[in-house]
Structure 1
């Protein structure tokens, strides 16, 4: 059961409460002194003087927690510090068996409660999983967090809930194993999300994919015993602010063995259920936008299949004819994500969009370049749009590192027998992948996001946890909302 976040106008007496204090606090403000005996006040003052950032006072019937906001170089970094503080606080709440918590925002500008609650919520996320032992499936006792502050509104809290539900949805999808989430099941989950949140879904089956001549998606699927899908999600509210839609394209490789260019195992194949994290993120963004009734026309496209070496699997040396009409020489069947994205990007052009994003766990090169700490971006949308995206990345701490798409990189994907090949050189691998995708979206403003580093974590990392992180959901929601 997901943690419930709500707005409250006041903190009732005797409630478990965390007070978010301004940076540099040394004396408790009067509003934090209620129900605090003199000995406890002295203890808190001593802890504040010692520069402790998380202070706990146990009244036996209830507890008070005090968190001191940090002074950082930017407000965005201060918000991130509070998200991480929420992660640390959650451990204390779990140990103390707190079921319901109130957050009293006493920061100077009233911006402390939301990021703290965000950190708590994302830390509290648990994948439902398939454990049968009842004890191992028991959730933490915390079920409800109430936010209180003079600058808070119920609508603001509810919007945060919608975004975090989108992140949780993306995490759930990424964490599902292949035998529970093949391409058809993935499409059905996207349709279910649309029914719940309020966007329309159209699922194209193999016959319709073949009719559209999506040569990349068809080729990657050849080795699979299960059919591919191409899911179109559309959120078009009345009064949408944009005349042309934004289109989000998500890679939906539900499992990637590498095909005949087989991945080594267990060093890299064992986590390849996460290779549809881009498609999961697109689903999460559409869900959050629809839940929060954001007045934007947004379309999500998710080509989905697994990549296996069986049957009539495509092989290195094959030449594919893509949806756009371009031909591609296959040099490596493990460079399959760009093939299915290329068909989807070509398809996206029919909408005459305002801007196209593609989101994909595309290259190990991107992960090696920036690690789990950032997302790699490149594209043709122009400096102003890229700056807006970087600013959204700073606000959500899903930070962007822009790589170039210089003309010379086209040489990396030249083919002797086709228009282009699907693999670049050992150097600049993330860029040559982006350069490949660029050929299928020419003439349309476009940004490519390679999320290979942060999409799936093999060890816990603060509020991002372990496993699927839902990365880029908060980023793209923030970016899209900032456009109107």
Structure 2
């Protein structure tokens, strides 16, 4: 009997990137279709002169709700009858990438019926032409994203072509920004595709096939470890979570090697939670709205795969290894039971007191594997705890770490990409709550501080290496669309990790007693 998964492509956006280009802006505001550019978008600040040739007054713009504030936009008719979308950017002197990205998103949302678009790119003292072009491309493409591959009649109009209009002297710099923005946007759309894919269609094995395909296209090396290999490697955390499933687990190891001549690259290891569907296992989740989103519980692994897929084209100078730990978490007669003890790679034993605290179990195997090879830092990313979401809300990721310089690099990448993150304390005073009477550690602490307990658990397996943990349980999913973030799976982390890897520097062995180490200690008390 035919099934919807027959011939299903979990990454449809990857195979159809839009055409994005730069052109020199002639005098005045372009008309729709002029030069083949498509529907134009024109930026407007709250004060100052309006763009030449717009043909509209501030009173007319105010009548349709556009006063120049970032995020406002409207489709207007010019005196000649031609359509134009006017979008606000906020104060021109304060214009930054975040405000411009939001403005570009407002533009494309107001022009949702048009597949061919053109944008006049504004400038300001805080934003050069390259950064402005990147922000516009990201805002336009990410706001228009929809996952409709399983609909017989998709409703959304995809962006077919986008032209950025800039002054002649800025064309070259804007071109560099366009290329970078397109790659960053494609990474996020790829991550969204993966997280939005139904779990019966994107199993661990299908995820491995997808990773292998992407690796071949993007210059990565991919190794896939099956059930028998995982048993031989002693990956008891991943195998234990997989015990109740009808679909076998997979561990995927990706490697990106920069093409450097005469120098050794810095080395970074990324670890991602890839729970393709999380029922909670024997500790079954309630049948509520949260349970219905659990296909996104592989968003961490998806973000790593997406980020690593664009590192080569972006010229990343850091060697990156990624571990994607993939399985679903299901109840059955063979599932791990409460009170069972699992043996993690390396021999540490874990008492399982809640099978819905499974992400830390599968990542523990990968963290140990990360310590077995030379690396300058390890960063893991996971939809790990509801506690992080309750602490920070649904838009902000929690960050923990044992080296403040590394944490600061993660936070800097979060600011640069407007994927917000906030440092939480790695409070070791709570570590005793993870002590077990029958094993080396148990997989949950007490009823409070759950995000901290999860981070402390993971830290046990990094062998003292510089390490940071990003908990994306909140921002991985949107209940409603907001700016360039659509309803559904957001792909949070793909752009953050891309930016982080591109700017990564080895944090060194910073310990308490130095200013940087004392800052870490402040977050550990």
TM-score normalised to structure 1 length? 0.90
Question: Out of 88, 91, 100, which is 2:106 matched to?
Answer: 88
2:10 aligned partner: none
Q: Shift of residue 325 of structure 1?
A: 1.1
Question: Out of 11, 24, 33, which is 2:52 matched to?
Answer: 33
Q: Secondary structure at the match of 1:131?
A: coil
Instruction: Write the distance in 2 (CA, Å) between the matches of 1:464 and 1:197.
Output: 26
> What are the residue-to-residue correspondences of 1:320-335 with 2, within 5 Å?
320-335=342-357
Q: Does 1:20 align with 2:39?
A: no
| Ranges in structure 1 where 5+ consecutive residues have no aligned partner | none
Kindly provide the CA deviation profile for residues 390-415 of structure 1, in whole angstroms up to 9, marking residues without a partner as x: 12211211122111113212111000
Q: Shift of residue 238 of structure 1?
A: 1.3
Q: Shift of residue 72 of structure 1?
A: 9.2
Q: Shift of residue 103 of structure 1?
A: 1.6
Instruction: Write the distance in 2 (CA, Å) between the matches of 1:87 and 1:100.
Output: 15
Alpha carbons 1:20, 1:112 under 8 Å: kept = no
Instruction: Write the distance in 2 (CA, Å) between the matches of 1:55 and 1:98.
Output: 14
Query: Pairwise CA RMSD of aligned residues?
Result: 2.3
Count of aligned pairs: 467
Q: Does 1:190 align with 2:219?
A: no
| Closer/same/farther in 2, CA of residues 333 and 56 from structure 1, 3 Å limit | closer
Instruction: Write the distance in 1 (CA, Å) between the matches of 2:91 and 2:503.
Output: 26
1:345 aligned partner: 367
Q: Shift of residue 131 of structure 1?
A: 1.8
> What are the residue-to-residue correspondences of 1:131-280 with 2, within 5 Å?
131-132=151-152, 134=153, 137-140=154-157, 142-150=159-167, 151=170, 152-239=173-260, 243-280=265-302
Alpha carbons 2:74, 2:107 under 8 Å: kept = no
> What are the residue-to-residue correspondences of 1:63-462 with 2, within 5 Å?
63-71=83-91, 78-94=96-112, 97-109=113-125, 110=129, 111-132=131-152, 134=153, 137-140=154-157, 142-150=159-167, 151=170, 152-239=173-260, 243-380=265-402, 382-462=403-483
Q: Shift of residue 255 of structure 1?
A: 0.6
Alpha carbons 1:277, 1:455 under 8 Å: kept = yes
> What are the residue-to-residue correspondences of 1:6-17 with 2, within 5 Å?
6-10=21-25, 14=34, 15=37, 16-17=39-40
Instruction: Write the distance in 2 (CA, Å) between the matches of 1:18 and 1:370.
Output: 35
Alpha carbons 1:103, 1:113 under 8 Å: kept = no
Q: Shift of residue 45 of structure 1?
A: 7.2
Kindly provide the CA deviation profile for residues 121-140 of structure 1, in whole angstroms up to 9, marking residues without a partner as x: 111111133122x3xx1441
Kindly provide the CA deviation profile for residues 131-165 of structure 1, in whole angstroms up to 9, marking residues without a partner as x: 22x3xx14416421111224333222111111111
Instruction: Write the distance in 1 (CA, Å) between the matches of 2:247 and 2:159.
Output: 41
